[in-house]
Structures are given as C-alpha cells and as structure tokens.
Amino acid sequence: MASDFRLKEQLPRLTDRIVATYAEVDEINHLGHCPLPQYEAIVSILDDFKEVLYPGYRRREGLHLGNVTYHTGDLIDGLHDKLTIQIGRALQHEFRTQSGGKPCEPEEHDFEAKGQAVTLQFLEKVPDLQSLLATDAHAAFDGDPACKNLDEVIFCYPGFDAVTVYRLSHALHELGVPFIPRMMTEWAHRQTGIDIHPAAKIDHHFFIDHGTGVVVGETCEIGAHVKLYQGVTLGALSFPKDTAGNLIRGTKRHPTIEDRVVIYANATILGGDTVVGHDSIIGSSVWLTQKVEPFTTVMMERPSLRIRPGSQPNKDV
C-alpha cells in the first residue's frame, strides 16, 4: 500500500509537543549548557591508549624498536589534545553542577588550561600503568591452564580488556577528573559484561576469568593476586539514608578482599564491613555478608541429587 503523505502533516504538531516537554522535564536534557565530554572521543582515547600500552597488537603492524618512538609519540601528541578538550569539558560541567547551575564562564576559569595540566599529570602515569597491566596479563596467563601465551590474553580475554580500561579510569579518578572515568568503565561494561567502578582500589596481579556478570563496587578494596570468576558480585549490603530520605554517599559500602583470594563463579559478597582474609577461597554461589579469617574456605553445602524414574507409558493409548 502506498504511503499517505498527508499523514506527515501531523509531524510538525507532534514535534511541537515533544519540544514543549523539554521545559517541563529539564532534568533530562542538556540544552543551553556547556558542552559535555563526547562518548565518541572517549572511546577513541581508549583505543589510542591500548595502542600505546600494547604496541604491535592492534592497528599498526610492522612496529619495532627503530620506529616505535615516532608511532608512540604521534599517539601521545594526539591523546594530549583529545584529553585536554574532554577533561576541560568535564571540569567545566563539574563547576556548573557544584555552583548550583550557574552559567559557565570559561574565560574566567580557563578550563582548557586546567584540562591540559591534568592531562599532563595523567600521561606521566602511563609508564607505571603499563608495568601494572603487565602483572595483570601474567596473572591471567598463570591462572588459566587453557591460555597458551600472553598474546592470547591481550587479544582475547574480556577480563583483561575490562581491567585495562579500569586502570586508566582509576588513574583519572585519582586525579579528580569527574565524569570521564565513569564513561570509560561503563563503555567497558557494555563491551565485556564486566562492571568495575573506577573508584575501586585494586592491587597488582588481578585476574577476572571468563568475566561475564562480574560487578566490583565503588568502595571495594582488592589486594594483590586476587582471582575472580564469572558472575561474582562485590556489592553493597544496604543503602543508608539520612533523615530526609536521601542516600548517604561517600561511605564504605563494599567489601575488602585481601591478597591471594580466589572467588568462584556467582559468589556474592556484600557490605563495607565484610573482609575476606588473605589466602582464602570463596566457593561458587556463596552469599557472604560477614568477615572471613585468612586461610579460610567458604563453600555452600552440596545439595542432594534426587532422581525419580518416570512411569511406563500406557500402551493402550
């Protein structure tokens, strides 16, 4: 059936109705305000950083010690420019929200200059981040007998990809950069199914095996040589509220996992006072809200398996 173009006459009126709602529910639009960081730019920044951190694995082939300096320098130069703009926008947005919605005055505050200063601090951290991520790659190789080499970790492991983004975002968070660290980890969450808050504190040699469904909350503290399997949740037990009914923020809500702990699939560990002592093992599907002493194994009791034979079919039917 052919379209009736006369029906399109309704569209201008519908558009007017939609635009009218922008003033009614202005909490969910960003009209007339300073530009926000751009998701496309943040994803591009992450891709460039992976090229810097793992040269020769991604876009550019034929790299060697004779030409990698130029390639890396070109990437760092571009990252400086991109990050300066995006961090400046994030700082500008933070100023506006903290000042009660007052208009931004970039000339007075020079957010781009502030963004550049933070960017240079962040780029100075890249060598240390690379060393830290090398420990995570080795933890994946050492912790998975199915892994043939470190190349496989870098190419194929979603857990390592999520940890890479987390390490970058955490460094930005530590420098006080708003907004962008969360954009980074939520993008990694969508890509890998692994949700690590950028404020979580995670030590070296961290490995997430398989990975899908892992959640690491904002105030988690994770020691060295910790291994998580798929479906693990390190979350909050409850969300306390003030007398006005608003959530109390900034408190320790998520567990502490000490060194050399292994947590198996679908275990749930909740609460800011919950500490899993070093060298402990948390079994699959455990629900844990209390302190565990070091060198402890926590397991669910094995359910009994019941098998009932089926009845013989009625041959007369």
Lowest mean pLDDT among 39-48, 65-74, 156-165, 268-277: 65-74
Cα-to-chain-centroid distance, residue 40:
16
Six-digit token string for 28: 């969910």
State the pTM of this model.
0.89
- Averaged pLDDT score across all residues of the chain: 91
Residue 315: per-residue pLDDT: 62
Report the Cα–Cα distance between both ends of the chain, in Å, rounded. 52
What are the residues facing 233 on neighbouring strands?
A: 215, 268
| C-alpha distances out from residue 277 to 84, 100, 281, 294, Å | 41, 44, 9, 4
Q: What is the largest CA-CA distance in the chain?
A: 92
Residue 303: per-residue pLDDT: 73
Residue 96: per-residue pLDDT: 83
User: Per-residue pLDDT averaged across 232-260, rounded?
Assistant: 87
CB neighbours (10 Å) of residue 7? 8
Residue 105: per-residue pLDDT: 60
User: Per-residue pLDDT averaged across 234-261, rounded?
Assistant: 86
User: Per-residue pLDDT averaged across 173-199, rounded?
Assistant: 97
